[in-house]
Structure 1
Amino acid sequence: MMSRCGATPPPPTAPPLNPGEELTDEETRIINDVLARAAKMDDLERQRIHLLSVRLEDARRTACGDGRSSCLLCGAALGAGGAAPQLCVRCGKHVCGACAARSDAASSCLCPICKQHQEVQKRSGAWFFKGPAPRVLPDPLPLAPPPPPPLTVPDGAVDEEASPPRQPERRPVAVQEKKEAAGGALPTSTDSPPSSLARHAPDGTSSREDEDDEGDEDSDDATTLGSLEFSLLYQQDGHQLQCCVIRAKGLKPMDSNGLSDPYVKLHLLPGASKSNKLRTKTLKNTLNPTWNETLVYHGITQDEMSRKTLRLSVSDEDKFGHNDFIGETRVALKKLAFDRKKKFNVCLERVLPVKKAVGGQSRGMALYEDDAHEGEEPAERGRILVSLRYDSGRGRLIVGVVRCAHLAAMDANGYSDPFVKVCLKPDMGKKAKNKTQIKKKTLNPEFQEEFSYDIKHGELAKKTLDISVWDYDMGKSNDFIGGCQLGIRAEGECLKHWYECLKNKDESIERWHLLIHDNSGGRFDD
């Protein structure tokens, strides 16, 4: 026996796999992918062998000779006055020289039928198994179910609806008695959860859509605010966000008669202003109002859908005083799937809208500004929906001013009196200048007006279309809100819109364009 002192130590090896250890989800997916690829390769191989088998059967079916005095395949006469016969070494039949197929041995030949039969056996492995090659793949391994998403709640809060019931821990009686004797009675869980717990609607959606908005709410008020049912739909092609306010149930009474005069108001956060404020009609003396009213935001881009939050607040209208806030809910728009309606039925929350005081008192839209998002994005001047179409039959360019959205407020009342100017430059004279009608006291005007310019298609590449939005002021100069320029020298969406108009004649193309506030050098004339 060799002495262990002089023996060379064995090289380090990986620790053996514990038989009881389970595979991870990543290892299971890799194994399943390998099995799937093997099954796919088997299917392709079976299809190829099937084609060879079909060719073999066709050759046997089309054979028209007896293989003695005539060719087995083509039926040509053999012997004297005919073709020289060739003997197949497998089946012993005769074929003509044209139909004979050389085998691997130079001195022997095979008829086409035997040649194809040999190929089928070689490809399928039947030469070894004396039949079709058996191959059975194992079934894919089952994946572990994904863990439920963690519920974020404040410290000490327990969500009894979201978390599954806990099974009592089984301990030996001696151990349990020992613990009770050492530390006293075991603590018991409270029956009622804290009031800061997020509530869940019947359809499973949480009423707290924005986790950043944490406000102190009274537990008594939180149970009596009521619920709001609504649906959201974002149409990607039309850049429209549609909010259908359906109904509310069990609202908190705010009037002395035990009822309320409720209405729903919508804002887009951050950057709430009157330009993105929408509201429903007011329903009198009810705690269970039914609106069935659809409110539409126009010109909402995909970028805004990824970073904006929709705030829905329910208030009680008072004719002789300030309206009373009842409750609200918020929805992060990035959670919506495009072109697919999603319904919500959520409990209202008592989130106080006052975030900070402005000038000693919180007034106007400062009530709805978020400190966390303040200064994130520059103030927008609005956007405009323009349609372009070149009429090749009449040789004219038709410009349509459809509507504007989210315009900047230029008057003291928080609104504007907007109108749009359209000018085709250069060298078009006064006939190139047009303007729409004035829309009073609105930040989302709808014009639906068209202007035409007689011009050849080849000259459009040298022209620039100036579009500007103005606020009308009686007795003094008008205020410039914003504008955009379409043409070959433009950039981004403006250049793309102009190029598509030149490329697609007799086709109306609509695009939204952001309004810029740069009027240096008098680019947009008043």
Structure 2
Amino acid sequence: MVSGSVMSVYSGDFGNLEVKGSIQFAVDYVDSLKELHVFVAQCKDLAAADIKKQRSDPYIKTYLLPDKGKMGKKKTPVVKKTLNPVYNEILRYKIEKQILKTQKLNVSVWHRDTFKRNSFLGEVELDLETWDWDNKQNKQLKWYPLKRKTAPVALEAEKRGEMKLALQYVPEPAPGKKLPTTGEVHIWVKECLDLPLLRGSHLNSFVKCTILPDTSRKSRQKTRAVGKTASPVFNHTMVYDGFRPEDLTEACIELTVWDHYKLTNQFLGGLRIGFGTGKSYGTEVDWMDSTPEEVALWEKMVNSPNTWIEATLPLRMLLIAKISK
């Protein structure tokens, strides 16, 4: 029942290797194609993942922040057994220029390890809001010194807005239902406040809910999408049944807020409401990571059956549990 597969936007090993060396790349916006082009040329003097043979198997990843979803990620092929890889690859993003000016470009270097976690070798981050797109020199190849990991800290510190919600635990089903004596958890998503604007004022947000450890599509519910506001009102109630008293200790409500744009959904922030024990049904899990505020709401709900418990909680970055097919 418990799924150990977790997708992290920060997956990898950040602490094993020192950060050294530099990367050469150029950025350009092609107006006729409405595309951002990142020309990754080469790296030099990278850290050695294989210390004995003094070599690594490096590749480059690029992200447009704050979207670290699948659509915002691009990468080069791996160049094996070298500390000075040459790529000469163009990574392309189809994106409107006005939206691009609200983004940051994150370029990171990684060692590819087939049997272990990939190792972080350094990164560069450019603020595209202040980038001078008319300066021809900015379109030319430049060397940038690689730096230690800063993106996760910066993203965690970003204001992702808040969610106003209420929870209720109903220990027994309504009279007349011929069901075993299991209860229901009711989740009332009222509204979100001050969501981050990824595309100017064109936000089109909705909320997904999953009761972990059940990551099946059957477990997933969602609100309607509300557009053109950073403080959408949903006023949507979701009901999950089959809760035995012992399940309240092992389960966790995952609420995530998304911006729907064209064919993609961009993650804005989320909550995980449970006891935050790090374990579920005896298995250690990454998603049982509730903050003290989230734990407090869950405890009040468990201790006050048949009563709506309301709270306004800050949205945060999450390791997103994969949805099973």
TM-score by length of 2: 0.43
Question: 1 or 2, which has the higher helix percentage?
Answer: 1
Question: 1 or 2, which has the higher strand percentage?
Answer: 2
Q: Which has the higher contact order (CA 8 A, sep 6+)?
A: 2
**Higher radius of gyration, 1 or 2:** 1
